[in-house]
Amino acid sequence: MPSVSTSVFVSRPDAEVFDFLADARNLALWSSGVTSVDADDVLPGRDAAYGYRYPGRRRPHRLVCDHFEPCRRIVFRGQRMWSPLGTQVPVYGFDLIPHGDGTMVRLSVTSCLSAALLLLAPVVAMAWRRDLPADARKFGDILGGSAAAPLHGPQVPASGGSGGDPGAPAATPLRTAPGGFDYAH
């Protein structure tokens, strides 16, 4: 069962980073292990389920929030994917540690393999060792902006009005991140 992790510092409060991670639709913005997540509005929390596409797979799979500890830890478990060599279950984990004027985020990926895929565990680990640091940089680039910039997440108001800091800019229906990614889903 290969498991790979890396850490990245984000200059945002842990609550803001957690809200961004808790909305699994944001995974497709930066994670190489997620091609897309259905645009359905799902209330984040334990057992929240999303339809998502794993790279190289045509049909959608299910992504479920397996662990939900606000501002500390969140884990998403993918649906078991079959191949002629066995099955694979991807697990994406995020641990948040408040640190100075931001948050240290530990990103981890574990691939639960079965049958002959177990023989390919070193190759799977090598691929994640190559991809996860790039994913962490992309994640840091997306969240590294000003703390006042609105993010797509469960606690960000969809428009101006009640609920939120009146001095903060309101979220718009379409926000583009520095890399050209769309925050609106």
CA-wise closest residue to 78 among 111, 45, 42 = 111
| Predicted local distance difference test score (pLDDT) of residue 148 | 32
CA-wise closest residue to 79 among 97, 92, 70 = 92
Domain count for the chain, please give it.
1
CATH number of the domain to which 90 belongs? 3.30.530.20
Residue 168 domain flag: no
Residue 156 domain flag: no
| Predicted local distance difference test score (pLDDT) of residue 181 | 33
CB atoms within 10 A of CB 23: 24
| Predicted local distance difference test score (pLDDT) of residue 146 | 32
CA-wise closest residue to 156 among 8, 22, 36 = 22
| Predicted local distance difference test score (pLDDT) of residue 174 | 28
Residue 94 domain flag: yes
- Residue 16 belongs to what domain range? 3-143
Locate all alpha helices (DSSP H) within the chain, ordered by sequence. 14-22, 27-30, 121-143
The pLDDT tens digits along the chain (185 residues) read: 789 999 999 999 999 999 999 999 999 999 998 889 998 889 999 999 999 887 877 778 899 999 999 999 999 999 888 888 899 899 999 999 998 889 999 999 998 999 988 898 898 889 888 999 999 999 999 997 433 333 333 333 333 333 333 333 333 222 333 333 333 33
| Predicted local distance difference test score (pLDDT) of residue 26 | 95
Residue 172 domain flag: no
Residue 159 domain flag: no
| Predicted local distance difference test score (pLDDT) of residue 128 | 86
Residue 173 domain flag: no
Q: List C-alpha distances in Å: 130 to 4, 120, 121, 136, 174.
A: 10, 16, 14, 11, 32
Dihedral pair phi/psi, residue 73, rounded to 5°: -155, 140
User: Which is it for strands 102-113 and 81-83: parallel, antiparallel or unpaired?
Assistant: unpaired
| Predicted local distance difference test score (pLDDT) of residue 41 | 85
Structure tokens at 60: 């959608």
Residue 162 domain flag: no
| Predicted local distance difference test score (pLDDT) of residue 112 | 92
